[in-house]
Structures are given as C-alpha cells and as structure tokens.
Structure 1
Amino acid sequence: MRGLFLDADDTMAAIFARLQRSGDPAVTVNRAARIAPEDLPRLLAGYDFVLDDHSALPTAALAACPALRHVIFLGTGARSYMNPEELAALGITVHTIKGYGDTAVAEHSIALMWAAARGIAAMDRGVRAGGWPRIPGVQLTGKTLGLIGFGGIAAEVARIATGSGMRVLAWNRSPKTAAGVSFVGLDTLLAESDVVSLHLLLTDETRGFLDAGRLARLRPGVILVNTARGALVDEAALIAGLEGGHIGHAALDVFATEPLPADHPLTRLANVTLSAHSGFLTPEANETLLQRALEIARGLCEG
C-alpha cells in the first residue's frame, strides 16, 4: 500500500521522518499549507491511503480518486473537514486519532480561562500601545467550573482545576463518574457555573449545542471557554450575549470559520480572548499524534 501525507508543514514533516522506521508503508510527504479541493484527484492519484492534517476532503473530489481506500485524519474532528458517511459509501474508511493531545488541550483551556479571568490579553494590548490598563480580575479559587462533555480532555481540565481549588461540575450525554467531579443536569451546570468549558465532539446532534436558549440560561457574567469546535456554539447568539454583557468573557480557540476573518465581530469585542486553534500544538502531542497515525498505517498494510 502507498500513502500520502497530504499537508505536512515543516515541523510535522520533520517529526514524521524521525518516527518512520524500516519496513513502514511507503508514505510520500507533500508539504503544503492549503490544498484546493480541485487539486485532490491529481494529488491522490494512485495512493491507497492519505494522512490529512487540516485539509477539506469533499466527497465529490474523493469520488474521483478510485484507488483511495483510507483517510487517516490527524485528530478527532474529522467532520469539520469531510463527511465520513458519504466517504464510506464510496468505500473509503475514515480513521481518527483520539487522546493524543488531551493534556495539551486541557492546559490550553486552563490558560484561556485564567487569561479571561485576569484580562491578560487586554492588558497586554494596552501596555504595548503605551498605556497602563490595570484591569480588575476574577479570583478563580473557590469558583465553579462547568464542563460540558467529559472525555479525556475534560478529565485533564478537571484534574488541574480541582488542584487549584475550584469546584468542578460536569454534564455528559452518557453516565460517568470521576473523583472530585459532581455530575449534574445541564440546566444546573449552566445556572451554577462561573466558568463553562466546552468538550463535546462535533456531530449532527451537537452542532449549535449552545444555542440562544442555552446561552441565556448561563449565569450572568460567565466566562465561556471553547477549545472543542466553533460550530458547537450559535456564534450570532454568543456575540449578542457578549455585547449585552450577559456573557462576561469568551475565551476561544476555535471558530465557525477558520482562519477567523480579520473583520469578524469577535475581533472587535474587548471581552473576548482569541487563539488560533492551537490548543493541541505541542511537540509532545504532535509526536504522539504522528506515532499513532503510523500505527494505523502499519495496521492497514498488515491487515
């Protein structure tokens, strides 16, 4: 079997080369920041599997790739880039990789939470502009953190938050238990949490999960953290809540449209802290991610 790493940047290409070993499937590394859908049939011609980091793989384009049988998506959120069910109908299986960046994303969630609570981004902007803005912060010790969804990332967030003296609530679609975490109904979590952090997978059922109605049930002045997927939140309702002050601050690593357009309303709001979908980006997480991708590729060849 032959594979193509479709969209490797220099960092990922270097890690991938270091991890490859004798006898591994042959994988061509294509270094490209963005792949146009119309180029996919040409790029994927003759390849049995593809490693995809961040490129959209429209069903129509892959229908013109008769040799392709597997997509190894470098992460969990494949649905943001392709339709797995439609690809399955073409005979293409989509493989995702879970758990590789749980600690990295959890630490980023915590960092965004504290940055929002203490106004770090706003003070940084002000000082760089020659000012001296001293912004009153929120002390998080003793406050309540609500986790919507409770997988590996949320478990790591809970571990860090409980260690810093926060009360942790969680809601999950299926029953779970965890030390130091109180599992409650969604309405209770929305009403009682000083900080709400999203940790749901994006599916047809969770798209727009925090709609206008649920956002309105949040505790006034809440800090909302999202390192999961932008489409989990009704963006227009979020902006309205931020402008009206019901939502005190949003700390966001993910957006409905990425990269975030320069003139987007979120970029003009003072009570928003932004990062560029980078929660998972650490050397440790990247190495684990590519190691697991290679394990999947080896299994495909052996199978």
Structure 2
Amino acid sequence: MKCAFLDVDTVGDVDFSQIQQVTGDFARYTKAEFEQNSEAILADIEVIITNKVVINEDRLKLAPNLKLICVAATGYNIIDLTACEKHQVVVCNVTNYATNTVAQHVFALLLSWANQIKQYHQASVDGTWQRSQFFCLLDFPIFELAGKTLGIIGYGASGQKVAEIAKAFGMKVLIAERENATDLRPDRTEYKTVLAQADIISLHCPLTAENANFINTEFFQQLKPSCILVNTARGGLINEEALYNALSKQQIQAALLDGLSVEPAPHEHILIKNKLPNLIITPHTAWASQEARQVLIDEIANNIQAFIANEPRNRIGLEP
C-alpha cells in the first residue's frame, strides 16, 4: 500500500523498518515538505500517518484513494472524524505506548522540585558553596515525598503507573472520582475530598470539549496552599491565566507542567514571559523517550498490518 508519514520530524530517531515491510511503499516527509507539496502527496496516497498535521474535509477531497489514517499519538483532535466517515476512511490511534516514560517524567519533575536540583547545582558552580563555612548548603528547603498525599485525576495506564511508583515512595494515593458522579467506585475518592487533602495533584486525563480549562480559579480555591500541581497530560486542561494568578499569589506551592495549551508557546505567553519561581515547564517531552517513540512506530505498523488483514485495531470514529 502507498503510505506516507506527513510529519516524520515529530518522532525523531526511530526505526521505520516495520512500516516499510508492511506497506512496501513508504514515503517520509517533514511537516514543511508536506505543506509545500500536499496536493501531489495526497493525490494517490492510501495510508496516511500523521502526528500533528490536520486532516480535514479539504484534505480528504485531495486524497480519493485514501483508506486509512494512522494517528501517531493517542489524541486524535487533529482528525475530522465526521469527514472521515463521509469518505469511508478508517482512523486508528495508538494508546499506552508512553506509560513508563510519562510516569518517569512525573517523578522527574517532582524530584527536581522537591530536592531543588537546579538551584543547588547553580550554587555548586557559581561560588556559593565555595564560600560556605559548612560542608553543605541549606539555602533551599528540601522535602520528602514519603508521607505526602498524591491525588490522581484520570486513572488510565499512566495514572495507574504513577500510583504504583508513588506507593513505592511511601506516598498515600487518592484516585479522584468524576466530579459530579453520583456513585462512588470502590477504588475512588470523592472529587472534592481529593482536592482538599492532596499535597500533590497529578493530571492524567484526555483533553475533551467538556473538560477544557477545568483547572480554573474555583479549582485552585479548593487546594491547600502547599499543594503542587503536576500536568503531563494536555495543556488545554488548565486555564493558564487562573494558574498564573494562583502561582503569583502563592495560592498553591508550585506547578510542574509538560507543555502548554499552545505549542510551541509564544514568548508573550503569560506563563513564559513572567518567569515565575514556582513554575517548571518542559516542552511536551514527557512522552518522548526513545523507547516510547519506537513502540509508537511499531504499533502503527501493527495497525496497518491489521487493516490490510481486514481486522482493524485501535479504530476510532467509525463503527467496525
């Protein structure tokens, strides 16, 4: 099948041999190359792989032979599913490929903040340590994760992995029930109770139209001032102006974020330009270990192979 990856530069140094073997005709384009030659590329394509390139009605009209879209991600908001249904195009995504690396990133952020790694490194090399009359510095408070209460919102694969690691640190884990749920599941804690008791809140829910910006002013008012917010999910879950206000007014201790609502974030973004001391941001890299990226590519190959065998897997949007 004639297959093209439309933004191969988004996945970096991975082995594409499984996709090449399954399709037999596999072309790779950077996002810029695709945007410059989209009509020609789409004209006779049968399988599209896309991470962030939007596939909408206009582009589907340019691809009369298209049969399958493989999203190189779990989220598929870049795909117009209604248009795909109209054009009888199957859409598949990949789930749970970055469970370990996302959980690892959560604790990389937490430990960096808890142990003040950046500040103590700087103090070690800028002369501060050398001027000390003692063997160590105590300039920046350090705290232990043991004994802290971790509230998890979103309990899929990554949320479960974070809970497992947290327990190894000796943390108490509370799994939040849905905010307006009438029945409490056995392993869940009432939503408002989690917010009130948590020392750390970690987000692991997908971004939907219903939960966009649900981390807002009202949310922050329910947290302890010592609470830390960790987000390795989607930036759009957070109302960033409300977060800025909460951080600048010390309504919460800190926010540790992987990505923002707009990526890459512009220089004038409220959380970028103000350089808050209680904020750490990484550029949407929680998913991006080499191992996780390779699993992603290999799972895409499996999706294509299953489609060719008329047994689609990880299918979204269209009913089998």
Under TM normalisation by the shorter chain, which class is it? 0.7 to 0.9
Q: Is the 8 A contact 1:8 1:29 kept in 2?
A: no
Task: Give the 3 Å change call, closer, same or farther, for CA 33–123 of structure 1 in structure 2.
Answer: farther
Residue 172 of structure 1 deviates from its aligned partner by 4.2
Moved more, 163-172 or 66-75: 66-75
Residue 127 of structure 1 deviates from its aligned partner by 5.8
Select which of 111, 114, 118 maps to 1:114. Answer: 111
Residue 14 of structure 1 deviates from its aligned partner by 4.3
Residue 27 of structure 1 deviates from its aligned partner by 4.1
**Aligned residue runs from structure 1 range 41-52, under 5 A:** 41-52=39-50
Give TM-score scaled by structure 1 length. Answer: 0.87
Cross-structure match for 1:301? 308
Task: Give the 3 Å change call, closer, same or farther, for CA 248–63 of structure 1 in structure 2.
Answer: farther
Matched to 1:98, the amino acid is T
Cross-structure match for 2:65? 67
Q: Is the 8 A contact 2:19 2:300 kept in 1?
A: no
Matched to 2:245, the amino acid is A
Identity %: 28
Residue 126 of structure 1 deviates from its aligned partner by 6.2
Listed one character per residue, the Cα deviations across residues 215-238 of structure 1 (whole Å, up to 9, x for unaligned) are 221221211111110001111111
Residue 71 of structure 1 deviates from its aligned partner by 1.4
Q: 1:271, 1:208 → 2: CA distance?
A: 20
Find the residue that maps to 1:183 and give its secondary structure: coil
Select which of 206, 212, 227 maps to 2:232. Answer: 227
Task: Give the 3 Å change call, closer, same or farther, for CA 246–299 of structure 1 in structure 2.
Answer: same
Residue 165 of structure 1 deviates from its aligned partner by 0.3
Residue 190 of structure 1 deviates from its aligned partner by 0.7
Listed one character per residue, the Cα deviations across residues 41-62 of structure 1 (whole Å, up to 9, x for unaligned) are 3332211121112333344333
**Structure 2 residue 153 is the aligned partner of structure 1 residue 148:** yes
Moved more, 121-130 or 259-268: 121-130
Residue 21 of structure 1 deviates from its aligned partner by 6.6
Count of residue correspondences: 296
Residue 124 of structure 1 deviates from its aligned partner by 4.6
In the TM superposition, structure 1's runs of 4+ consecutive aligned residues that sit over 6 Å from their partners are none
Matched to 2:5, the amino acid is F
Matched to 1:104, the amino acid is T
Q: Is the 8 A contact 2:56 2:83 kept in 1?
A: no
Structure 1 portions without partners, runs of 5+:
none
Cross-structure match for 1:203? 208
Listed one character per residue, the Cα deviations across residues 266-291 of structure 1 (whole Å, up to 9, x for unaligned) are 23111111111111112221221111
- In our comparison, the structure showing a higher alpha carbon Rg is 2
Q: 1:3, 1:51 → 2: CA distance?
A: 8
Q: Is the 8 A contact 1:162 1:168 kept in 2?
A: yes
Cross-structure match for 1:291? 298
Q: 2:195, 2:33 → 1: CA distance?
A: 40
Residue 212 of structure 1 deviates from its aligned partner by 2.0
Q: 2:219, 2:10 → 1: CA distance?
A: 42
Q: Is the 8 A contact 2:51 2:71 kept in 1?
A: yes
**Structure 2 residue 184 is the aligned partner of structure 1 residue 158:** no
Residue 93 of structure 1 deviates from its aligned partner by 2.9
Q: 1:234, 1:150 → 2: CA distance?
A: 21
Q: Is the 8 A contact 2:6 2:34 kept in 1?
A: no
Cross-structure match for 1:282? 289
Q: 1:128, 1:47 → 2: CA distance?
A: 55
Q: 1:91, 1:168 → 2: CA distance?
A: 44
Cross-structure match for 1:98? 95
Cross-structure match for 2:8? 8
Residue 39 of structure 1 deviates from its aligned partner by 4.7
Matched to 2:74, the amino acid is T
Q: Is the 8 A contact 1:116 1:223 kept in 2?
A: no
Matched to 1:284, the amino acid is E
Q: Is the 8 A contact 2:225 2:251 kept in 1?
A: yes
Task: Give the 3 Å change call, closer, same or farther, for CA 204–160 of structure 1 in structure 2.
Answer: same
Residue 90 of structure 1 deviates from its aligned partner by 3.7
Matched to 1:6, the amino acid is L
Residue 108 of structure 1 deviates from its aligned partner by 0.7
Residue 168 of structure 1 deviates from its aligned partner by 0.4
Q: 1:127, 1:63 → 2: CA distance?
A: 60
Residue 33 of structure 1 deviates from its aligned partner by 4.9
Q: 2:250, 2:294 → 1: CA distance?
A: 41
Task: Give the 3 Å change call, closer, same or farther, for CA 53–219 of structure 1 in structure 2.
Answer: same
Give TM-score scaled by structure 2 length. Answer: 0.83
Residue 25 of structure 1 deviates from its aligned partner by 1.5
Find the residue that maps to 2:254 and give its secondary structure: strand
Q: Is the 8 A contact 2:149 2:174 kept in 1?
A: yes
Residue 254 of structure 1 deviates from its aligned partner by 2.0
Q: Is the 8 A contact 2:151 2:198 kept in 1?
A: yes
Matched to 1:41, the amino acid is E
